[in-house]
């Protein structure tokens, strides 16, 4: 296959299945070739996550520690102070992150929450970080106000195929998800949307998810591929662990069919070896969440990632400098 393909939004499910089913090494080789046509090799974009409101979520996502429907033993927390968020964002920037992603366990933000999140976006943006939020469903006015405040990305995952969706979540529909993504796009923000593997789904569901993402009018700029972190007390606590090669296949196909998108290693890295992650980078993954916590579950800390990056010769993509940074550089030149 020619590495430098033009972007396609008309992938068929059959084409995606053929890519998915090819011999593993052929798939990874093609994915790495496509990757190098579109991105610099060995550069990984690093984001940091922070939960700004934890737990007691009214949604019933069967994988999630934060759903009020299950007894996951998670301690719920009220909204955290904007000053705390700013401190955490500065620390993330100092340790090499270029994007700060703030998540709230809401079905959707209430109007009373909007001044809080808008102020947060403005302040994090002023630090010279890219901003990302994941707050549940948005209406078009909320999306526009977030964009105007300086929000660069909105994360809203499709999570699995349309067919499997209702087996995992019953409190909203797949089309609700698409509606929010539409509002985010219409408002002019960048889209972060992907899914989870290891939910007990079939390969055809992973293919269905990839098909939905790659046939959107514009591919999401960022595509997180989470591997289920089993949470005690949730219905998926004891689901059979998915073989890691299936996660790699999902990443590789995402890279091939959405060649200009950042493919993100997300939840699940804690349970994966350095070699598994190296293979994921080989398959075209080029971004990840750093820090010792995701939203509620442990993550490979910065120290571990620095060792991994050094071992593999990887570097973090640089944050774009702010006007303040540029004038400091000019003074010290």
Active site residues: 57, 61, 64, 101, 132, 192, 264
Residue numbers 171-210 binding ligand SAM by CB under 6 A: 196
Q: What is the DSSP letter of 150?
A: T
Among 80, 184, 228, 242, binds ligand SAM (CB under 6 A): 228
Q: Which two tokens stand for residue 226?
A: 């989470």
> For 267, phi and psi rounded to 5 degrees?
-60, 150
Tokens 């984001």, located at residue: 47
Q: Contacting ligand SF4 (CB under 6 A), which of 96, 109, 128, 136?
A: 136
Site for ligand DTB in 39-78 (CB under 6 A): 49, 65
Kindly determine how many residues on this chain lie close enough to bind ligand SF4 according to the rule CB under 6 A.
Answer: 8
- Whole-angstrom distance, CA of residue 258 vs CA of residue 254: 6
> Given the complex with ligand SF4, which of 96 and 136 has the nearer CB atom?
136
Q: In the complex with ligand SAM, which residue's Cβ is closer, 183 or 314?
A: 183
Contact between 63 and ligand SAM by CB under 6 A: the answer reads yes
Options 231, 244, 251, 300; binder of ligand SAM; rule CB under 6 A = 231
Helices (H), 12-159: 13-21, 24-38, 82-94, 114-126, 140-149
Q: Are 5 and 34 in contact (CB under 8 A)?
A: yes
Residues contacting 56, CB < 8 A, separation 6+: 66, 68, 76, 105
Tell the residue number behind the tokens 């969706």, with chain if given. 165
Per-residue tokens: 75: 């301690």
Binding mask 278-317 for ligand SAM (x = CB under 6 A): -----------------x----------------------
Smallest gap from residue 48 Cβ to ligand DTB (A)? 11
**Strand partners for 298:** 293
DSSP state at residue 133: E
Tokens at 300, concatenated: 């490979």
Residue 67 binding partner per list ligand SAM, ligand DTB, ligand SF4, none, with a CB distance cut-off of 5 to 8 Å that depends on partner kind: ligand SF4
**Interface ranges with ligand SF4 (CB under 6 A):** 57, 59, 61, 64, 66-67, 105, 136
**Interface ranges with ligand DTB (CB under 6 A):** 49, 65, 101, 103, 134, 155, 157, 194, 224, 226, 229, 266-267, 294-297
């Amino acid at each position: 296959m020619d590495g430098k393909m033009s972007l396609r939004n008309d992938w068929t499910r059959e084409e995606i299945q053929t890519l998915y089913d090819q011999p593993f090494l052929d798939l990874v080789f093609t994915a790495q070739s496509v990757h190098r046509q579109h991105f610099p090799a060995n550069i990984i974009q690093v984001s940091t996550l922070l939960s700004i409101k934890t737990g007691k979520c009214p949604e019933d996502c069967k994988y999630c520690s934060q759903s009020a429907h299950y007894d996951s033993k998670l301690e719920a927390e009220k909204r955290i102070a904007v000053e705390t968020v700013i401190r955490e964002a500065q620390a993330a920037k100092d340790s090499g992150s270029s994007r700060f992603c703030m998540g709230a366990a809401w079905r959707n933000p209430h109007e009373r929450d909007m001044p809080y999140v808008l102020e947060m976006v403005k302040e994090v943006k002023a630090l010279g970080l890219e901003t990302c939020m994941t707050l549940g469903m948005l209406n078009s006015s909320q999306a526009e106000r977030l964009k105007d405040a300086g929000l660069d990305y909105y994360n809203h995952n499709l999570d699995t195929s349309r067919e499997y969706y209702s087996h995992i979540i019953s409190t909203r529909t797949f089309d609700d998800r698409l509606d929010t993504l539409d509002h985010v796009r219409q408002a002019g923000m960048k889209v972060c949307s992907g899914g989870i593997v290891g939910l007990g789904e079939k390969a055809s569901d992973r293919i269905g998810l990839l098909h939905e993402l790659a046939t959107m009018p514009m591919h999401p700029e960022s595509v997180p591929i989470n591997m289920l972190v089993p949470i005690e007390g949730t219905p998926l606590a004891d689901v059979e662990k998915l073989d890691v090669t299936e996660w790699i296949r999902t990443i590789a196909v995402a890279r091939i069919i959405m060649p200009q998108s950042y493919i993100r290693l997300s939840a699940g890295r804690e349970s994966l070896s350095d070699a598994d992650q190296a293979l994921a980078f080989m398959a075209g993954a080029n971004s990840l969440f750093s820090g010792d916590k995701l939203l509620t579950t442990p993550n490979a800390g910065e120290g571990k990632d620095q060792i991994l990056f050094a071992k593999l010769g990887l570097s973090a993509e640089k944050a774009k400098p702010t006007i303040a940074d540029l004038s400091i550089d000019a003074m010290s030149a």
